[in-house]
Amino acid sequence: MTARRPSLAVVGATGAIGGVMLQILSEHADVWGEVKLISSPRSAGGKLVVRGEETEVLEISEDVFDDVDVALFLASDEVSRRWAPLAASRGAVVIDDSAAFRTDGDVPLVVPEINPHASRIRPRGIIASPNCTTLALIVAVGALHAEFGLRELVVSSYQAVSGAGCDGVTALREQLSMVAGTELGTKPGDVRRVVGDAHGGPFAAPVALNVVPWAGTDAGDGWSSEELAIRDECRKILDLPSLRVSATCVYVPVIATHSMSVHVRFENEVTVDRAHEILATAPGVVLYDSPGAGDFPTPADVVGTDPTWVGRVRRSMDDPRALELFVCGDNLRKGAALNVAQIAESVAAEFPRS
Amino acid sequence: MTARRPSLAVVGATGAIGGVMLQILSEHADVWGEVKLISSPRSAGGKLVVRGEETEVLEISEDVFDDVDVALFLASDEVSRRWAPLAASRGAVVIDDSAAFRTDGDVPLVVPEINPHASRIRPRGIIASPNCTTLALIVAVGALHAEFGLRELVVSSYQAVSGAGCDGVTALREQLSMVAGTELGTKPGDVRRVVGDAHGGPFAAPVALNVVPWAGTDAGDGWSSEELAIRDECRKILDLPSLRVSATCVYVPVIATHSMSVHVRFENEVTVDRAHEILATAPGVVLYDSPGAGDFPTPADVVGTDPTWVGRVRRSMDDPRALELFVCGDNLRKGAALNVAQIAESVAAEFPRS
């Protein structure tokens, strides 16, 4: 018998995350057999290059999932809600990057470095990949949890505008062109007045020369949906249903790579030396922590790379069980396409090779 | 007898904070008698307008403080360390905006909304004004402390580049001119390469299209001086020597106005409704908290105003004694010149009026 490589479908191939996925598929070219690229009727019909070959973009339909072993969904919540169960009913294992199924009790939420085994139990045939903000955080925090026992997270994000999609990037670039070379930013409302007519994008306030403490939709009691997602997803991935999590999500004028300031309280006392040892060897983590020498992660250095970078590791001066961390992760790579690809490759390994 | 208005000296009149102080003195023109403007030899000799009058800028010397009732120091730590005790020895009450005396046990650290009485006990004749980061935070947190009893603060800052002085502003403006209109910000190191030859300013990494998690100098054990200053100063102002404080200070590409995400744990249970009532009536605070309607403070709206703006008030979902807040305060006004002016006016009221 010859080895059969599983077949793959990529839904949302023409989007921003889809573009990153095609790069990753080309880098890991020997995993998959046939690769189908799929999009909405609006974007279908063109061709994209994957693994060096021009490949037609097919319109989404039920039939397109026939003979597909693994289907990646890199589109909107709405597309996933409608089409992912149909793809699964045709026999594909669905790996979904949207928020549609992340809190579904019958859908595992998987980060391969943290809970790889969870992907084997998938009653609906669907595996979910976490929010980009959770992903930048969980790889580092999960590694520390294994030794010290996690009790509480207080997270403040510095989120890149690409977390709000291509519209977010367009909005920041247009606004930057309007404020660069000016004296704006020192008088009440001056930035808002000047960028008021520009592409507002998905933000409720200017994002150039500003920060915007609101991400997602209104989730009640003052919380944004993104803040509650971090709480729900950390609890689910780490299987810690009573973990305390308080998150505040803030957009900053950065194109790609989310950063987070994280206060982590553990069950046991911690030391910076031991935390450094754990982080230096944790899969998917780069420790970059010599701040006096200028070595700390920033989005400008982390963007385009795969790992979560961790620096500014300090033990709280007033609590020997608490650490402060500053973490950066590219929201389009590990925060989206890469985590989905990692899950997909672990599923591919389930298929008989001969 | 006629009323005698106290005389004032402004050291550092030609600097960025000095400029804001001259505006404030012109707005409160009836408080002071003679106003002397003082600077280093390098900047002395020119004239500046204060209270509508051209006023010569005098070179700093011991004699210049003769007949000065109140001396404001708006210059470097070094200038304050050398000259403030000399000014005090000539009989002036010194109000110092530098870090030189903030942790001195014989120098009160004063925020008029929080601990006004502390300014009366000044064994060295010097009163210190807090760091701009502390000031944006303490007015709001202090008001809540009075009712709920403060136990712990976890603070993550989004600091404006003007907190690092005029050099910080120049660096950001130059870097913005280089990145605007480009596709930078998505490839490893692309921003750093392009702005590498620009004015680096006081930052250890690019600050355009980036965030920089380091403010001040290396204070040991991984902490920056700015982070420890927030802890020391909050404890001193609130007279809570065992308050738990963990701060992470991060520069963002904003010209002026510091923002902070604050997790506040109290001794007693809190409600958002009662916190809203307290913040809505606290002196020096504006409550702006209807996020579903887009009402939350951002630097672009707060810059140029006097109060601390507070929004995003939430009770922790997992701890009925904890609140999350997002606060913004103009680091050049309340964060520097305004707080000094407020202290000075309270000292002026000590002088006999007839």
The CATH number for A268's domain is: 3.30.360.10
Q: Is the pLDDT of residue A233 over 60?
A: yes
Taking all residues of chain A, what is their mean pLDDT, rounded to a whole number? Answer: 94
Q: Are residues B141 and B277 in the same domain?
A: yes
pLDDT at B69: 97
Interface test with B, best of A243, A246, A251 (most B CBs within 10 A): A246
Contact between chains at A248 and B261 (C-beta distance less than 8 A): yes
pLDDT at A43: 87
Q: Are residues B109 and B16 in the same domain?
A: yes
Q: Is the pLDDT of residue A314 over 60?
A: yes
Contact between chains at B179 and A180 (C-beta distance less than 8 A): yes
Q: Are residues B116 and B35 in the same domain?
A: yes
CA B329 from centre of chain: 8
Residue A207 is classified by DSSP as: -
User: What's the number of domains chain B is made of?
Assistant: 2
Cβ contacts (< 8 Å) between B222 and chain A: which residues? 272, 289, 291, 312-314
With respect to residue A354, please indicate whether it lies within any of the assigned structural domains.
no
What is the least distance, in Å, from the CA of B60 to any CA of chain A? Answer: 30
Instruction: Read off φ and ψ for residue A259, nearest 5 degrees.
Output: -120, 155
Minimal CA–CA distance to A157: which of A253, A241, A261, A86? A261
Q: Are residues B67 and B139 in the same domain?
A: no
Residue B64 is classified by DSSP as: G
Distance CA B202, CA B251 (A): 11
With respect to residue A248, please indicate whether it lies within any of the assigned structural domains.
yes
Cβ contacts (< 8 Å) between A186 and chain B: which residues? 255-256, 303-304
Is B28 catalytic? The answer is: no
pLDDT at A86: 97
Q: Is the pLDDT of residue A3 over 70?
A: no
Q: Are residues B147 and B241 in the same domain?
A: yes
Q: What chain A residue is nearest to B248 in terms of C-alpha separation?
A: A261
Report DSSP letters for B249-318, one per residue.
--B-S-SS-EEEEEEEEESS---HHHHHHHHHHSTTEEE--BGGGTB---HHHHTT-SSEEEEEEEE-TT
The residue from B117, B132, B145, B166 that is catalytic is: B132
With respect to residue B181, please indicate whether it lies within any of the assigned structural domains.
no
What are the tens digits of pLDDT across the range A237-278?
999 999 999 999 999 999 999 999 999 999 999 999 999 999
Contact between chains at B222 and A263 (C-beta distance less than 8 A): no
Contact between chains at A294 and B205 (C-beta distance less than 8 A): yes
Q: What chain A residue is nearest to B228 in terms of C-alpha separation?
A: A317
Q: Are residues A86 and A224 in the same domain?
A: no
pLDDT at B1: 44
**Amino acid, single-letter form, for residue A199:** H
* Tally of residues, chain A: 354
Q: Are residues B89 and B157 in the same domain?
A: no
Identity of the residue in B181, B188, B263 whose CB atom sits nearest the CB atom of A304: B188
Q: Is-contact A168 A203, C-beta < 8 A?
A: yes
Contact between chains at A300 and B191 (C-beta distance less than 8 A): yes
Q: Are residues A264 and A221 in the same domain?
A: yes
> What stretches in chain B show pLDDT beneath 70?
1-3, 197-199, 353-354
Is B117 catalytic? The answer is: no
Q: Are residues A221 and A299 in the same domain?
A: yes
Identity of the residue in A156, A173, A292 whose CB atom sits nearest the CB atom of B218: A292
Q: Is the pLDDT of residue A8 over 70?
A: yes
pLDDT at A198: 66
Instruction: Give mean pLDDT, residues A37-52.
Output: 92
What are the tens digits of pLDDT across the range A104-153?
999 999 999 999 999 999 999 999 999 999 998 999 999 999 999 999 99
Q: Is-contact B166 B137, C-beta < 8 A?
A: no
Identity of the residue in B154, B252, B256 whose CB atom sits nearest the CB atom of A154: B154
With respect to residue B196, please indicate whether it lies within any of the assigned structural domains.
no
Identity of the residue in B242, B300, B305 whose CB atom sits nearest the CB atom of A209: B300
Cβ contacts (< 8 Å) between A256 and chain B: which residues? 185-186
For helices B132-148 and B225-238, the axis angle rounded to 10 degrees is: 40
With respect to residue A260, please indicate whether it lies within any of the assigned structural domains.
yes
Contact between chains at A154 and B263 (C-beta distance less than 8 A): yes
pLDDT at B23: 92
With respect to residue B175, please indicate whether it lies within any of the assigned structural domains.
no
Q: What percent of chain A has pLDDT over 90?
A: 85
Distance CA B253, CA A298 (A): 13
pLDDT at A277: 98
Q: Which residue has the tokens 């030396």?
A: A273
Contact between chains at A299 and B176 (C-beta distance less than 8 A): no
Per-residue b or e along A190-208, where b marks 16 or more CB atoms closer than 10 Å to that residue's CB: bbeebbeebebbbbbbbbb
Per-residue b or e along A70-97, where b marks 16 or more CB atoms closer than 10 Å to that residue's CB: bbbbbbbeebbeebbbbbbebebbbbbb
Per-residue b or e along B39-64, where b marks 16 or more CB atoms closer than 10 Å to that residue's CB: bbeebbeeebebeeeebebbebeeeb
Identity of the residue in A185, A313, A322 whose CB atom sits nearest the CB atom of B255: A185
Contact between chains at A314 and B222 (C-beta distance less than 8 A): yes
Cβ contacts (< 8 Å) between A334 and chain B: which residues? none
What is the least distance, in Å, from the CA of B90 to any CA of chain A? Answer: 37
Distance CA B66, CA B71 (A): 11
The residue from B234, B258, B263, B328 that is catalytic is: B258
With respect to residue B1, please indicate whether it lies within any of the assigned structural domains.
no
Interface test with A, best of B151, B176, B232, B327 (most A CBs within 10 A): B176
Contact between chains at A318 and B205 (C-beta distance less than 8 A): no
pLDDT at A197: 62
With respect to residue B184, please indicate whether it lies within any of the assigned structural domains.
no
Q: Are residues B107 and B151 in the same domain?
A: no
* Tally of residues, chain B: 354
Q: Are residues A325 and A233 in the same domain?
A: yes
The residue from A166, A258, A276, A328 that is catalytic is: A258
Range of the domain at A278: 133-165+204-331
Minimal CA–CA distance to A38: which of A61, A21, A7? A61
Q: CATH no. for residue B99?
A: 3.40.50.720
Q: Is-contact A305 B188, C-beta < 8 A?
A: yes
pLDDT at B197: 62
Q: Are residues B343 and B308 in the same domain?
A: no
CA A246 from centre of chain: 19
